[in-house]
Each structure stands twice: as structure tokens, then as C-alpha cells.
Amino acid sequence: MFDFSILFPSLLNGLTTGAVYALVALGLTLIYGVLHIINFAHGAALMLALYGVYVLRTRFGIDPYLALPVMVAGMFVFGYALQRVVINRASHGKDENILLVTLGLSIVMENAALLVFKSDTRSIETPYTLTTVAIGPAMIALPKIVAFFGSLVVAGVLLWVVQRTDLGRAIRAVAKEKQGARLMGIDVAHVYALSYGIGLACLGAAACFLLPAFYVNPQVGSGFVLVSFTIVVLGGMGSFAGALLGGFLVGIVESLGGLFLGDSLGQVGIYLIFIAVLLFRPQGLFGDRV
Amino acid sequence: MSGARADALGIAAFVLVVACAAFALGSNVALTFVMMALYATLMAQAWNLLGGFGGQFSFGHALFFGTGAYVQAIAQVSGGINAWAALPLAVGAAGVVGLLIGALAFRYGLKGSYFALVTLAFAEVFRILALSLGFTGGGVGMMLPLRASATNLQFASPRGYVLMLLGFVTLALAVTAWLRHSRFGASLQAVRDNEDAARALGIAPFRVKLIATVLSGAFMGAAGAFYVQAFQYIDPAIAFGATTSVEALLGAIVGGMGTLWGPVLGALALHALAELTRNLFGALPGINMVIYGSVLVLIVMFMPRGIAGLGVALRWTRRDCLGGAREHDRERTKGQP
């Protein structure tokens, strides 16, 4: 039906998008795995990070890739404070409350952005925006290739932090056994806020990789909410490797869905996968049966 | 006086007051305020049936709203059916969608956050379908020809719509009161509080939750049908967008979930707040939703029982303080050898 020269670029495009999706989903997975909460504000936080990159570029002339340390640090602090001051206090120990609070936060963030930036869709211009690289029969935009490898590097750093550092050990201890961790002298509230901060820091990095080949408007995050939940559920809630694989899978499905069904209907594929996985395989594609 | 009779009297008083207001108020501004407040009330009540009494938090109630709205519009525009005849179709279709979604979600044991996400995903699927399929008019939306007469369920003055909404709201109040005092309502609340315990008592959680979803969806569909009749227009973003879903759950949560008058109070308070911000800040885009979102966070933080829970909370404070002190003493002595 379609020959290789059309399918191949579409596949590559899916892979590069998928890498960024994976990065976004890694943050969500970390937050879910440690705090056991569904961070509904994840998409809105990504949108804020995208605006951050946008403002840094247009106001201060900072290249998106050079803005990475600033954005990662900024989003980390934002996340830490948000968790400690708002989310933690509002939970009252109930999952539904956290879902509602993060929903409220996402509404506030989205509409605050609407107030400040209006509803226009904006993008940035960089010297390399239009540069493309030929891979076989495919022409891929340079920013997408940078996004692909950059996302993998950030994911690697995150895995290293969680697996090999004391901070990571504390995080895993809290995720597994909160009371036990507390008895070992770990400040659980601090680790919660740290994890949430790291989760949002992933978004800061993702925004830097995303914006040169993407756009930002106040609603851009809502598309990412369900996509990243799909990935997290697909990969088995709380699994890092699963989130990475899930990210690539969803990126490819979206790209191929767009190719076969057209851009607007192609989006349905992701939501249908999400619903199907939640219904029939809630433990994820790679998880064990619970 | 029994609780059921008190509820019935309260509902009768409510109907009387609103009906009197509908005929006493002369200005269209005041009537429009009442109309929009009742519209918000109806959505909050619909959400409350499932979310408040059933404990199933839907983030995608626009799904039912949009279904009702589109069926109401398509039946008239493409089907040539009279608006009054279209109304039961719209309400019924929304109920059927509730049945299908509920059957899928509850059959596979989705609850809590997962139920919320799945309803949201279904609303998105419907939005994209409405955008892409031909018979919905796509992104342009559907326009209802303007023919103001009671036989067409279109009214020149908001008064007609106030009475139409009052009918639905009264029905929703009656159903809510029935949930408070009937065996079925008790089963539903038992499932909400502890599904396993309820099952052990012989309640079938699947059936109970499913009925609640159908009722909730049907009332939300009625709100959608009203929207089409009152504004003669619908498009995918209005029908299935997140704003409608948020408005429905917000009214119930702010007012007090699982209560009879909570959604009424919550919708009224939110609507008054919206009017106030419009007067203070003008028509700044987004300001309303910023305030709505903040209210949601603050309510969950400080008033998890909503406005209707305030009276209860005051009564409980004293007992809580005493209980808390005793708990503290026990905690302190426990560590000592």
C-alpha cells in the first residue's frame, strides 16, 4: 500500500518524537512510582517549560540547547515547591484528592499562560531550525535528531541517579516501603518533593529538545497528558524501561496513524490504545500479571 | 419529620422559589443569570449522582453532554424531527453512552484515577470523531435554525429556558433524594465507601455503579440538549471539550459531594463568582478558569466536604479536638516503656 520510501521517514519521525515522549513519560513514571499519585498537571507543566524556553530565546537570545541547565534547575525548584506547598498538603491521604488538586493546578497553569501569552501558537527561530539530515531515503530535521539523542542521554542520567546514587537509593526505598524508609532516617516528605521536582526537571529538558522543531500554545500540554499516561500505563506503571519502550511505540503509532488516517483522525489511535491497555492489560505490555 | 419528607418539602420550596423568580423577574439579565445558574446546577447534579454518591470520579462528563447536544441537533437538522421529540432521544443516547462506557470500565474493574483517565480519553475520542466525521458538521459545528416558539422548544425570552431547566433540575433533585433514602441509594453509597464490604453484603457493585452511570449520563445529556436549544449551535470543542467536564465536577465538589443541596450551592457560588470576576476584570481570556482552578485546589485543601459540609464541619470540630487530644496522649504514652 505504501512503499518503503514513505514508511521509513514516517517511522524515523515516530522514533524521534517517541524519544521526547519517553522523556516526558519518565518524569511521570518517577512521580507515580514514588508518590503513587497520578500527576494530572504533567502536561500543563510541560507547557510552562516550553514557554520558559520560548521566553529565554526571544527575550534573552539564549539558544534552547544552552538553556537546558537553566530549565532543568528551574523546573526542579518549581516542582519541589509545588509538591511541598500545595500537593502534599491537599492530599489528606486520598488519591482522588491528588487527582483533583493536580487537575486544578493544570487549569490554573493553562489559563495563566492564556492570560500572559494569549492563545496564539508560537515557535522560535534558530539557525538550525530548517537544517535537515539525510538518513537513507529520509530527510529528518536536525532538531529532531538532537532531540532523539538528547532524550536518550537525559534518560540515561536519570537512570544513573536512581540506580547508583544515595539520592536514588533513598527514592527507591521510599517508593518500596515508606514506613521502613522513615525508620531508617530518610525524610520522606523531602524525598517526595525531590521526586516530584526531578519529574518536572525531565520536562524542562524535554521542552529544550522539543521547542526548536515544535510550537507552544496554552493548550499544548493537554495533548501530552493522555499521551504520557498512555506510555506510562503501556510500559507498566512505574517502570523506567517500560516507559522508554512505550514512548517509542506511541511515537511510531502516532506517526503511522497520521500517515494512514490523516492528522486529526490519526490521534484517535493513541487514545484507543490507552483505553484498550487500561481495560485489558492494566499491568502494561511488559509488566507481570498482578 | 422523616428525612425523606424533609427533602421533599425542600425540593417543593426550591421549585416554588425558582418558579416565582422566573415570573417575577422582568429583566433579561436577571433571567439569564438564573438560567445559567440552573444549567450549571444540572451538570453538577449529574456529576454528583455518579461522583458524589457512587464515588466514581469522571473527568470526561463532557462525553454525555456532547452526545446529548449532538443528538438533539442532528435529529432536528438532519432528521427533521421536532425538538420535543428529539429531547428523549438526546437524553436516551447519553444514557446509552453511559451504559456502554460504564459497562466497559466497571467490567474490567477500573476505579479511582483510572476511571477518571478512561472517561477523559473517551471524551477525547468523541471530540476527535466529531471533528473528523461528516454527519456532525466537523469543526464548523452545527447550527440550529432559529424558530422561536414553544412548539420548537425555542424561546424568545430566557424565561422559557428557565422553566425547561427547572424541570430537569427538579427531576435530578428527586433522583438525588431517592438515592438518599432508597435501598438502591444505600447500596450505591456502600459500594462507594467500601466495595469489598458491599459485595460481602450481597450487593452487586457492577450493576449498582452501572445504573448510577446511566442516570448521571442521562442528566448530563439533558444539559447538552438544553445547550443546543438555548444557543442554537454546537461544535466539537464545546461539546466534548474539557471545560464542560471541569464545570460539572467543580460544581459538585465545591458544593459538597454526595449531598442533596451541595451541587445547587456549588453551581450557584461558582456562577456568582464567574459573574463577579467578569465585572472586576472584564472579559480577560482565561481569568475565569484561573479562579475556578484555584477554587478547586483551595476547596480540596481546606474544605474537602464543600460548602454543604461547612455546617457539619462546625459541629464536628469540637469532637475532633477532643478525639485528637486523646489520640495524642495515646501516641505519647505508647513509646514509653
A·B CB contacts under 8 A: 123
Q: How does residue A260 score in pLDDT terms, banded at 50, 70 and 90?
A: confident
Spell out the SS3 assignment of A239-263: CHHHHHHHHHHHHHHHHHHHHHHCH
Q: How does residue B312 score in pLDDT terms, banded at 50, 70 and 90?
A: low
Q: Specify the pLDDT at position B326.
A: 43
Question: With an 8 Å Cβ cutoff, is B101 touching chain A?
Answer: no
All structural domains of chain A, each given as residue ranges with its CATH number in brackets, are 4-121+131-280 (1.10.3470)
A111–B290 CB contact, under 8 Å: yes
Q: Specify the pLDDT at position A261.
A: 78
Q: Specify the pLDDT at position B316.
A: 56
- What cell was used for A11? 517511522
Residues of B in contact with A112 (CB under 8 A): 286, 290
How confident is the model over B139-153, as a mean pLDDT? Answer: 85
Query: What is the SS3 assignment for A139?
Result: strand
Q: Specify the pLDDT at position B243.
A: 85
Give the ipTM of the model, two decimals please.
0.84
Per-chain mean pLDDT for chain A:
85
Interface test with A, best of B117, B118, B320 (most A CBs within 10 A): B117
Per-residue pLDDT tens for B320-332?
Answer: 544 444 444 444 4
Q: How does residue B310 score in pLDDT terms, banded at 50, 70 and 90?
A: confident
Report which of residues A96 and B144 the model is more confident about. Answer: B144
**Could you give the percent of chain B with pLDDT greater than 70?**
92
**Between A99, A107, A268, which is nearest B125 by CB?**
A268
How confident is the model over B34-53, as a mean pLDDT? Answer: 95
Contacts of B61 (CB under 8 A, 6+ apart): B43, B46, B47, B119, B123, B216, B220, B244, B245, B248, B249
A91-99 — which CB contacts under 8 Å span 24+ positions? A91/A37, A92/B304, A95/A36, A95/A37, A95/A38, A95/B112, A95/B113, A96/B57, A96/B112, A96/B113, A97/B300, A97/B304, A98/A37, A98/A38, A99/A37, A99/A38, A99/A40, A99/B57, A99/B59, A99/B112, A99/B113, A99/B116
Q: DSSP class of residue A133?
A: E
Q: Which of A94-103, B176-185, B240-249 has the lowest mean pLDDT?
A: A94-103
Q: Specify the pLDDT at position A287.
A: 57
Residues of B in contact with A276 (CB under 8 A): none
**Between B125, B132, B297, which is nearest A86 by CB?**
B297
Fold of the B3-269 domain: ABC transporter involved in vitamin B12 uptake, BtuC (1.10.3470)
Q: Specify the pLDDT at position B140.
A: 84
Per-residue pLDDT tens for B82-110?
Answer: 999 999 999 999 999 999 999 999 998 88
Closest CA to B167 of B226, B253, B96: B226
Q: Specify the pLDDT at position B314.
A: 62
Residue ranges per domain, chain B?
A: 3-269
Q: Specify the pLDDT at position B311.
A: 67
Does position A56 have pLDDT exceeding 50, yes or no?
yes
pTM, entire model: 0.86
